[in-house]
Structures are given as structure tokens and as C-alpha cells.
Amino acid sequence: MKRVVVTGGAGFIGSHVVEELLRHDYKVAVIDNFSTGHRKNIAGLPVDVYDFDVTDPHVGDLILSLHPDSIIHLAAQISVAQSVRDPLFDEQVNVRGSLHVMRAAVRSSVGKIVFASSAAVYGNPLSLPVTPGHPTHPESPYGLTKLTVEHYLKTFYKLFGLPYTILRFSNVYGPRQDAKGEGGVVSIFSDRLSRDMPPFIFGDGKQTRDFIFVRDIASAVVKGLQTEKNICVNVSSGASVTINQLFRMLRSISDSNMNAIYREARPGDIRESTLSNNEAKKLLGWEPVTDLFTGLQETLHFSNRAAKLIK
């Protein structure tokens, strides 16, 4: 049975990836500092859990002791706004933390490291849909740190022969996404509608995003683990909606009459985003199976249950 280390494995995306790995009979070890991840996300699962921070240089010794066959690196500072406020912290987690994991991957002679990158590496697109060959001009420190790690991975392959898969995620949503702080827009809208509170829309709401359901992401991550090639692909739905359209869909599903409150646009946010997933389909044999309406229904159902527990 192959052993996989998942950094950030107790988080929103990470916990779904862990479940997908278990469905494929991998032995899983989770490394998470639980700053944003939650133990309840992986409670009861047959995994080894280590409370550790990737920014600690000794994380490499931990990974080495686990003798992994591969590593899925999901642990990150994920907020664009936070990266603008505190770029040094963003760099510490996303660049230095990643380097600790990558060095451990080399020392452990793993067969593959899968890295969760982001559509933020592209910045404001010159054309749509955005392909992996599109120029990369990040508009935020967050996007810049993700792109920097991509370059490090390619360099580590040249220097040390470390095989990699880079997956550039579009906007991920689904159950377990935390609506507090810097949660994704779907989880924030769902949470506020579940509690009969008006959501906030930053800007005019006409900005577009490509939303991808979290279990489709998890499927792509496991397929990225299994490919023998070094690849960099987008993991996305291949379509986009405006934030206004997204809100109207969620409001319809929730049977609400609530109106959104509009606020000033946030620095670092891009205007339009639609990612081509053709390369992922071709190179990974993957494609999304959850349409947006179905995914939103499941996400809102999860938020409704959570709101009732809070009450």
C-alpha cells in the first residue's frame, strides 16, 4: 500500500483529498497546524495525523521519518487580501514552507509531489479562457508566491530529479469550506443566507469567476499523483459566472428574498477568470462531473445544517 503525506490535510480541500485517497486504497498521513483546518474534517478516518507547521524547518525530519512514496502539498496561506496586508507572512508560509516540504521530498526520494497552485498566477487575463501557456502576471503577493513555488519545483526537478504535478485551481467551493475570515465567496454567501443575513459583494458584482466543486478537485489531485509526467494544468469547470449571477442562484436555491450589500472593490482581486481545463482532460484523463447548480445545492445544504447547529 503506497503511503502519501498530505500537508494541510485537515483543511477544506485537504480533507476531501484525504477521503479520495482512502477510496483509492492509499495509506495517508496528514500534516496540519490546524490554524485553518479542523480535526472534525478528518475525524474517524483511518489516517495518521501530525500537528505540525510547514514553516518549521523540522517538518522535513518528520516527513523523512514517515517514508512517503509521494507528497500532496496543500498547506498554504490562501487569502489574497491577507497577502496584501502581510506579504512577509504570505512568503513565509507559501514559499519558505513549500521549500521545507520540497527539500523533504528530495531527501525522501518520493516518486511525485503534487502542488496546489492557483488561477491567481495569471493575473488579469489577456484572453479567455486562460490556458496554462497564458502569460503569468500575478496581481497579488498570493499569486506571486504560488508562481514562485512553481518555478522552484521546475528547478528542483532539474537539480534533484524531483517529479512534480502542478495543479492551478480555479475558485474551489463545496461543503466544509470555512465562511469565517477569508472563506470563498460561495461559502460566505451560503453562510449568510443560512442565517438570514445579507451577503456583501465587493465591487459591482460583474466580475466573473470559474467555480469548481471540491470533490472534482480531489479527483484531479489523485489523478495528478498517478501521472508519471511532469505537468502543469488548470483544474477548473471551464466556464464562468458573474458574482451577481452566483448570488441570484444561491438566493433561488435558498428560497430567500435577501438583497446583497455592495462595497468597494478589493485591491488584488482580478476582474475576469475562466480557465481552460482541456489540458487536464487530456493529460490526466480527468473532467469535472458536478455542475454548478448541483454543487451549490449541496454547499447550501451543508451551511443550513451548520447554521442550525450554531443556533
C-alpha–C-alpha distance, residues 133 and 96, integer Å:
26
Please count the other Cβ atoms lying within 10 Å of the Cβ belonging to residue 26. 21
C-alpha–C-alpha distance, residues 178 and 183, integer Å:
5
Q: Are 14 and 32 in contact, with CB atoms under 8 Å apart? A: yes
Burial 185-219 (b: 16+ CB within 10 A, else e): bbbbbbbbbbeeeebebeeeeebbbbbbbbbbbbb
Half-sphere exposure (Cβ direction) of 47: Cα atoms closer than 13 Å: 33
Nearest to 298 by CA among 180, 173, 185: 173
C-alpha–C-alpha distance, residues 86 and 82, integer Å:
6
The end-to-end CA distance of the chain, in Å, is: 43
Measure CA 131 to chain center.
18
The angle at the Cα of 69, spanning 64 to 75, to the nearest 5 degrees, equals 70
Which three cell numbers mark 2?
Answer: 503506497
Known catalytic residues are: 142
Residue 135 class from Cβ within 10 Å (0-12 exposed, 13-18 middle, 19+ buried)?
Answer: exposed
Which string of DSSP letters, residue by residue, matches 4-53?
A: EEEETTTSHHHHHHHHHHHHTT-EEEEEE--SS--GGGTTTSS-EEEE--
Which three cell numbers mark 304?
Answer: 443550513
